[in-house]
A and B are shown apart, each in its own frame.
Chain A
Amino acid sequence: MTSPLRDLVAAVVLLNAVIGLVTYVTLLERKFAARMQSRIGPYRVGPHGLLQPIADALKLMMKEDVVPARSDRWVYNLAPLAFLLPCLLIFATIPFAPGLGLADLNIGVLFFLAVSALEIVGLFMGGWGSNNKYALLSAMRGVNQIISYELPFIFAALVPVVLSGTLRLGGIVEAQRGLWFAAWPVVGQAAFLAYLVAMIAAENRAPFDILEAESELVAGFRVEYSGMKFALIQLGEYAHVLATSYLGALLFLGGWLGPGPAWLGAVWFTGKALVVFLLVTWVRWSFVRIRVDQILAISWKLLLPATLALLLATAGWVAYRGGAGVA
């Protein structure tokens, strides 16, 4: 049993590491998108634009904080926090390397899914509290979309759980020592693909970004937010994408497993998570936005039955091979 003080220090270190990483992930995305469009991207601030995220953060901190006159003040002010907290909390259960993590809970996957579902509360608080039609419409679309894609996401994430026979994230990684789950014939690839699609939808990124839809809804539920509150929402959003990328790398790409000494594990893991992140970013900057009804049809008519069948098939196969923990 570790002492509470040690846990506290570990939590502070992890929190700052996550925030730092998230800040630079935004730069990575901007550079990546720029390259895809034959641009250079941020370049002026620091060498190769390396100080750009710091400059952005400073700018946002110094901006005026505007509160709409007829907003629901408490709800409006608390929404960024309610949005950010779950997004940061989910990092608590991710083991970055054997023994390197805040808490490798034995319900790890469930904890991740449950806490990240709380994000929606902050989202509709922001949409409602702003007293803005665009924000409200966006929040409604968000609720709609997240309800629709939560189930396929959970079913896809449960396939590795069934294969490894444990909900503990560390155990799932260890079960992939022979073969990454993404490399398992048919089942692995199908589940990974479903995971990626559901992830893009759950993160509200293009082509599933009707929530933001800048051409019709200005900027979605965060349209009335400015300064530091806007920064918090943005931080939460990227933290959530990053955490989901980590989860994807852990469930399907073998987490910290890789050649080299043990301490390289965290580096491998972060590298794989960034690969997942870049995959999602690649899709985001390649496709156009699809319509609301198309988004819902993809979820309920295709993704949900497909992931459910996949999960049942996996479970049947595992049972046929003789119980949990085949890998």
Chain B
Amino acid sequence: MTLETGAFWGLAAVLLASSLAVVLTRNLFHSVLYLAVAIVATGGVFLLLDAAFLFGVQLLLYAGGVVTIVVFAIMLTERLVGEGIGQTSRYLINGAVVSVAVFVGVLLFVGQAPLPAARRPLGADVTRALGELLLTRYVLAFELLAVLLVTALLGALYLARTDE
């Protein structure tokens, strides 16, 4: 077993355990911390696949941004309001059935294509290639995403406005 395979299985175990902990922990704050672990572990998987740029973006946006905002929301609602909000996991069995079904579906889909025996090393500068593709071939999707984000921002502003 090479170092890389070992690292992958280690990361996979951490990722699975922390993801399960996110949904199964009763304490909402702990749940967010597990989410942070899961996000960093996902970044690690990207790193193993030579996608260092994605690793950086994953950490910056999700661990640094999303988790922070979720924590902010929890802090604002729970401790300052004064009553604990536990996480309830209703419909556990239904959820498990759906996730197993999705997992099997993905597995069957992926299984149709034979996986390459060895990963080819990436030669060129991935970051540059990503930037070029985003602004040439996928520019429409890229710009649409920007429009979507602006819409979300405006929506948030509309919801958060003070009534006068």
- A117 interface neighbour in B33, B63, B75, Cβ under 8 Å: B63
Q: Is the CB of B56 within 8 A of A124?
A: no
Say how far A240's CB is from chain B's closest CB, in angstroms. Answer: 14
For residue A102, CB closer than 8 A to chain B, the reply is no
Q: Which residues of B contact A117 (CB under 8 A)?
A: 59-60, 63-65
| B63 A118 Cβ-Cβ under 8 A | yes
Q: Give the residue name and chain of the B residue nearest to A121 (CB).
A: B36
Docked complex Cα distance between A121 and B52 (Å) = 21
The contact size tier of chain A is 20 to 34
A147 touches B68 (CB 8 A): yes
Please report the C-alpha to C-alpha distance between residue A146 and residue B69 in the assembled complex, in whole angstroms.
11
Assembly CA distance A113 to B63 (angstroms): 12
Q: Given A106-B125, A107-B127, are A124 and B75 also a contact pair (CB < 8 Å)?
A: yes
On whether the beta carbons of B67 and A121 are closer than 8 Å, the reply is yes
Contact A121 B75 (CB under 8 A): no
Asked whether B79 is an interface residue with its Cβ less than 8 Å from the other chain, the reply is yes
Q: Please report whether the interface of chain A is mostly helix, strand, loop or mixed according to DSSP.
A: helix
Chain B residues in 8 Å Cβ range of A106: 52, 125, 127
A113 to B36 CA separation, bound complex (whole angstroms):
17
Contact B72 A136 (CB under 8 A): no
Given A114-B59, A118-B59, A118-B63, answer yes or no on A147-B30 (Cβ-Cβ < 8 Å): no
Supposing A106-B52, A117-B59, A125-B33 touch, asked if A144 and B72 sit within 8 A by C-beta, the answer is: yes
Q: Can you list, as one digit per residue, whether each of A85-109 has a CB less than 8 Å from chain B (1) or not (0)?
A: 0000000000000000000011100
The answer to whether B29 has its CB under 8 Å from any CB of chain A is yes
Q: Does A115 contact B (CB under 8 A)?
A: yes
Could you tell me if B68 and A143 are in contact, using CB atoms closer than 8 angstroms? yes
Chain B residue nearest to A167 in the complex (CB): B127
- Residue in A closest to B56 when the chains form the complex, CB atoms: A110
Decide: A113 and B33 in contact? CB cutoff 8 A. Answer: no
B residues less than 8 Å from A146 (CB atoms): 68
CA separation between A110 and B131, bound complex, in Å? 14
In the assembled complex, which residues on chain B have CB atoms less than 8 Å from the CB atom of A124? Answer: 68, 71, 75
B40 within 8 A of A: yes
Of residues 41 through 78 on chain B, the ones whose CB sits less than 8 Å from some CB of chain A are 52-53, 55-60, 63-65, 67-69, 71-72, 75-76
Q: Does A267 contact B (CB under 8 A)?
A: no
Instruction: Name the CB-closest residue of B to A110.
Output: B56
Give min CB distance, A125 to chain B, whole Å. Answer: 7
Please report the C-alpha to C-alpha distance between residue A143 and residue B69 in the assembled complex, in whole angstroms: 8
Residue A150 lies at the interface, judged by CB distance under 8 Å to chain B: yes
- Is B107 engaged at the interface, CB distance under 8 Å to the other chain? no
Say yes or no: B29 contacts A75, CB within 8 Å. yes
A107-B53, A121-B63 are known; give 19 further A-B pairs, CB within 8 A: A72-B29, A107-B127, A110-B57, A110-B60, A113-B56, A114-B56, A114-B57, A114-B58, A114-B60, A115-B59, A117-B64, A118-B59, A125-B33, A144-B72, A146-B68, A147-B65, A147-B69, A150-B64, A167-B127
A residues bordering B, Cβ < 8 Å?
Answer: 4, 72, 75, 105-107, 110-111, 113-115, 117-118, 120-121, 124-125, 128, 136, 139-140, 143-144, 146-147, 150, 167
Q: Which residues of B contact A (CB under 8 A)?
A: 3, 29-30, 33, 36, 40, 52-53, 55-60, 63-65, 67-69, 71-72, 75-76, 79, 125, 127
Q: List 22 A-B contacts (CB under 8 A).
A: A4-B3, A107-B56, A110-B57, A110-B60, A111-B52, A114-B56, A114-B58, A114-B64, A117-B65, A118-B59, A118-B64, A120-B64, A120-B68, A121-B68, A124-B68, A128-B29, A128-B75, A136-B79, A143-B68, A147-B65, A147-B68, A167-B127
